[in-house]
Structure 1
């Protein structure tokens, strides 16, 4: 099973935001993402979304031309709408930020429109991200482009205890949909090495990722998962503070 993915180049792409920006891009490339034959369902992968040469140019920009926060750990920069770490949705008080020139050729599109929010993250060696599910209500599609060092992302089912690790290789584009997007958590363990299936120990180095998010029409999810879906929780009367507390407790839980 495959999912179409288009990287827009060589066409006028008009963004439906208040900025009314029009990007001129130079080539249209249609790609095929293949669904991984694993559980959870809905993980689609496209290897070599860009060339190694393109990747090195991007890394040079990341390391020399961008202004990163000055603090340890995982660092983030936002384009388009800004992601809110308080609500796990859109920061409505921050204006839409135009996509920089280097980002435009990297924009995947589904349903003929660019993403509404893009987050560039830098992972220092040993840095991870707690197991979580991106909020269901605000966001629909979810893609991620990996650059730099490879590492494993773990998907987990809290109900069954099932866990599986997916190797995120440099230049790979991943889409999470269906069960992998809505009913399993995903996270990256904080460690400096990964052990491959053949027993090889792989050292982690500096890594970057681009996460692409599209706003969900109506901002309501109908999956009904009361443990992981913010829409279902709100309808059930579960307070936001409780949901955030549960998220924090999950983040502190040991990852096996």
Structure 2
């Protein structure tokens, strides 16, 4: 993917639903907001400091729990929220705010904000310094300068279909390719509005709602074409699967004596006799293969590897060789 020319105007990106408003804040407003946010408590991530208001942001799911509101947005952002709401391309009042502090070399990994968690419009306001944000959709890539005190509005295609990120670097090629150092500090205010209904957007490729709908079909497909097949061929399959992978054996031999080991997707149980001084908990989706294990005097149960019948922290080690395939 070739390096993109850094655009200075939102319209130059050609991305529908992307609007860049320069000079959205005055210098006085910027100073006031920075002073107010610095008076609040910061949380530290691995490389940057953050604050969450309204609802706590969960980075694992890139969303929030709508039932766990931590309070209203701070009063010092009320004028900004109302100004954004008055924009024709926004038209809604935000109820979640994430404040990020960036220092040179720290960026943001490529992502699309989770479709089902938030509404159609996101807004991000830049304070204390500029940055270059890049947008990706398949092989397409656009780079846009976000000036200090500007507001970036993402809706529709820009919000749902394009991944956005900030490259992890200390300089940006802003002036005829010449590297310009990033400011010593940049603070972003990202405003969102949560939603509780599934997403029905026109961009299923990045949509968690559509992907979850597809996942509901997978168990039926697996049952029809995988589990039933293995049940039917289990004895023959077992007779052709007897060699143990050296690296798996090496791993099992490295485990402490007396350990409890889960073998998820144990097949015909060829690894269950590797260590007589360990306890193996074996399971497989195929009842036919579980019966093969039982005939060999191994303890095994029929269970789905995605829903193991073991409590958390009950095993010292686990293997799932099917995943390695």
Q: TM-score, normalised by structure 2?
A: 0.57
Q: How does 1:83-232 map to 2 (within 5 A)?
A: 83-92=57-66, 94-107=68-81, 108-109=84-85, 113-140=92-119, 141-158=121-138, 161-204=139-182, 205-216=184-195, 218-226=197-205, 228-232=206-210
Structure 2 Cα separation of the partners of residues 95 and 151 of structure 1: 31
Superposed, 1:36-51 pairs within 5 Å as: 36-51=11-26
Tell me the distance in 1 between the aligned counterparts of 2:203 and 2:16: 18
Deviation >3 Å, runs of 4+:
110-113
Distance (whole Å) between structure 2 residues aligned to residue 37 and residue 82 of structure 1: 34
Say if 1:179 and 1:222 are closer, same or farther in 2 by CA, change over 3 A. Answer: closer
What 5-or-longer segments of structure 2 have no aligned partner?
Answer: 1-8, 219-305, 307-325
CA 1:176–1:162 in 2, change beyond 3 Å: closer, same or farther?
A: same
Q: Looking at secondary structure, tell me which structure has more helix per residue.
A: 2
Conserved? CA contact 2:73–2:96, under 8 Å: no
Aligned to 2:241: none
SS at match of 2:75: coil
More contact order relative to length (CA 8 Å, sep ≥ 6): 1
Other structure's SS at 2:197 match: helix
Offset at residue 45 of structure 1 (A): 1.4
Report deviation, 1:93: 5.5
Stretches of structure 1 that go unaligned for 5 or more consecutive residues are 1-33, 243-256
Preserved CA contact (<8 Å) 1:222 1:232: no
Give the TM-score normalised by the residue count of structure 1: 0.72
Q: Is the 8 A contact 2:22 2:151 kept in 1?
A: yes
Does residue 1:236 correspond to 2:214, yes or no? yes
Instruction: Give the conservation status (yes or no) of the 8 Å contact 1:142–1:177.
Output: yes
| CA RMSD, 1 decimal | 2.3
Offset at 1:232?
1.1
Once the two structures are TM-superposed, the CA of residue 82 in structure 1 deviates from its matched residue by 1.9
**Equivalent residue of 1:166, what SS?**
strand
CA distance, structure 2, for counterparts of residue 165 and residue 171 of structure 1: 18
Corresponding residue of 1:21? none
Counterparts of 2:151 and 2:196 in 1: how far apart (Å)? 24
The answer on whether the counterparts of 2:24 and 2:150 sit within 8 Å (CA) in structure 1 is yes
Q: Is the 8 A contact 1:35 1:42 kept in 2?
A: no
